[in-house]
Structure formats: structure tokens, C-alpha cells
């Protein structure tokens, strides 16, 4: 199968598809033959993207609204079924930035809740709407967007927490749906978008480096990110049958770099059988852990 036919006839719903990484993904999967439903909160941006896709890339339609709302998420899936008669791929690319200078010392409860809703809530509602359809047909690919920010290196609160939760939810979805033939994976992308450009963003990255959170190489890479078209192919690959054996994986893509997180495994620090031993004492734990 040639690349231009890789996704021929597929129905693809893309959340956050009107801008940035989501738009680059929408353009590529259209080029590969899929019919695309573009979702975004800005109705004008959605329509402009749909017009460009239809004129230069392939079949596209749109649905404006915040997919963190259950009705919008359900409507997105229904629109894909109505437009293309099928739902083969769900791609979540939506994201919002942490408030400027946000930290656990300054963020409000409502700001934190908004970030969790935008990231984790969007993935939950769209996956919840798509999963029964995919499971019933015995196939489908869910691709959610995480971030290396979940490691904490970029500071913040709701953004790393939400993206880390997306990782955990996706891995759990993959385990639950594997027997139904449905795959679920995460991409942690690095690309130049409206969220990663501008004087404020650059000052933030430089401040993280100054505080010791980012090393020199990571700082420079963050300030010189490649265009979104460099990460779009990984989404297209995971959407295709070429990746039919991959599920429950967390990938990274930034410019020419592609990587994968290994599944965390515990390092054994000590063991005693609770059937014939007392609990560890605090002093014993200190020696074992810090010693």
C-alpha cells in the first residue's frame, strides 16, 4: 500500500484540529486519504481549516465547541459517523497553556480545574463517546496527546497534572480495549505552535533553565522547536494499520527526534515476608532508602 492510500476511506475525528499540531495532523491524514472532522473551540478557525483541507488536501468537515463538554464530544463522534459512515480514528490534540508565572504558590483553584478539564476532561469525554463504537466494530485507533511536561521539568501545576493523567488514562483504556481490537497510544510532541512562541514563552523557558529545571540542551531545543509538520507523521503512523500491534505506548516526537517511554517498573529496595516479620522500622527504612 502506498503512502497516499494509507488511510483511504477512514473516518477520523481530530480534537484541536484547527490549529497547531492538530491542524498539521489533519492536513496529513487528509493527504493520506482519510475523511476528517475538525474540532476546535474557535468556530472561525474551524471553518477556515475545513476550507483549506477541502480545497487542497481531501474531505473535511467541522464541529466547533469545547470537547471537554460531554455534548460536544458526543456530537463530534456522531458527526464523523454521519459524514463518513464510520469512526476509525480519534485523535486528541487540544491543549491550553498554564497561566503566566503559574506555580503551586500562585495558581487559583478555578485555574487548576480549568486546566484539568481542558486536558483530562477532553480526553475522557471523547474516548468515552468513541470507545463503544470502536469496540462494537472490533477496530479503531485512539491517539491522545500528552507532554514531557508530566515529568515536572517545565514546572506548572494543572498542565503537567492533566497531561500525566492523560498518559495514565490512555494506558488504562488500551488495556481495557485490547481484547476488542481497539488501540490507544500517546504522543508527547514538541513543536513550534502558538503555545510555544513569543517573548513570554521564551522568558519562561530561560527562567526554568536559570532555576535548574531545564538543562542547556533542553532549553535550546525548547526555544528552537521544529514546525508541527515534523510530529504529524507519528500520529498518522499510529492511526494506520502499520501500527496494529502497538497499544498502551507513550511516544515522544520533536523535530527529527522520535522516542518512547519504557513502562515504569519498581526498583526493589528491600523485602521481608510479612507473614513472619515485623514491619520495617523508620530507622531501617532510612538506612535502606537514603543509605
Domains identified in the chain and CATH numbers: 11-191+226-266 (3.40.50.720)
pTM: 0.90
Low-confidence ranges of the chain (pLDDT < 50): 1-2
pLDDT at 1: 40
Cα separation of 14 and 5, whole Å? 19
pLDDT at 163: 96
Cα separation of 68 and 128, whole Å? 11
Active site residue 159: yes
- Among 84, 154, 159, 235, the one annotated catalytic: 159
pLDDT at 100: 78
Stated as kind and residue range, the H or E segment containing 61 is strand 60-64
pLDDT at 149: 85
Cα separation of 235 and 265, whole Å? 26
> Which cell numbers in the block locate residue 80?
464523523
Amino acid at each position: 500500500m502506498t503512502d497516499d492510500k494509507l488511510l483511504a476511506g477512514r473516518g477520523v475525528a481530530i480534537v484541536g484540529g484547527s490549529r497547531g499540531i492538530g491542524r498539521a495532523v489533519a492536513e496529513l491524514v487528509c493527504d493520506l486519504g482519510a475523511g476528517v472532522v475538525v474540532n476546535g473551540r474557535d468556530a472561525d478557525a474551524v471553518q477556515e481549516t475545513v476550507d483549506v483541507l477541502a480545497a487542497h488536501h481531501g474531505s473535511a468537515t467541522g464541529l466547533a465547541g469545547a470537547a471537554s463538554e460531554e455534548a460536544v464530544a458526543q456530537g463530534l463522534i456522531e458527526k464523523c459517523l454521519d459524514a463518513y459512515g464510520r469512526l476509525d480514528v480519534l485523535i486528541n490534540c487540544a491543549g491550553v497553556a498554564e497561566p503566566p508565572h503559574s506555580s503551586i504558590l500562585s495558581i487559583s483553584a478555578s485555574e487548576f480545574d480549568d486546566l484539568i478539564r481542558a486536558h483530562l476532561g477532553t480526553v475522557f469525554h471523547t474516548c468515552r463517546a468513541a470507545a463503544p463504537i470502536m469496540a462494537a466494530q472490533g477496530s479503531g485507533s485512539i491517539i491522545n496527546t500528552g507532554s514531557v511536561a508530566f515529568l515536572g521539568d517545565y514546572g506548572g501545576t494543572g498542565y503537567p497534572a492533566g497531561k500525566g493523567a492523560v498518559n495514565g488514562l490512555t494506558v488504562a483504556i488500551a488495556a481495557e480495549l485490547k481484547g476488542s481490537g481497539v488501540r490507544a497510544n500517546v504522543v508527547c510532541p514538541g513543536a513550534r505552535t502558538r503555545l510555544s512562541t513569543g517573548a513570554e514563552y521564551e522568558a519562561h523557558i530561560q527562567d526554568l533553565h536559570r532555576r535548574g529545571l531545564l538543562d542547556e540542551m533542553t532549553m535550546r531545543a525548547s526555544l528552537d522547536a521544529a514546525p508541527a509538520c515534523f510530529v504529524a507523521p507519528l500520529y498518522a503512523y499510529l492511526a494506520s494499520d502499520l501500527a496494529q500491534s502497538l497499544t498502551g505506548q507513550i511516544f515522544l516526537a520533536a523535530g527529527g527526534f522520535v522516542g518512547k517511554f519504557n513502562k515504569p517498573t519498581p526498583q526493589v529496595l528491600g523485602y521481608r515476608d510479612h507473614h513472619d516479620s515485623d514491619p520495617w522500622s523508620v530507622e531501617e527504612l532510612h538506612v535502606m532508602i537514603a543509605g
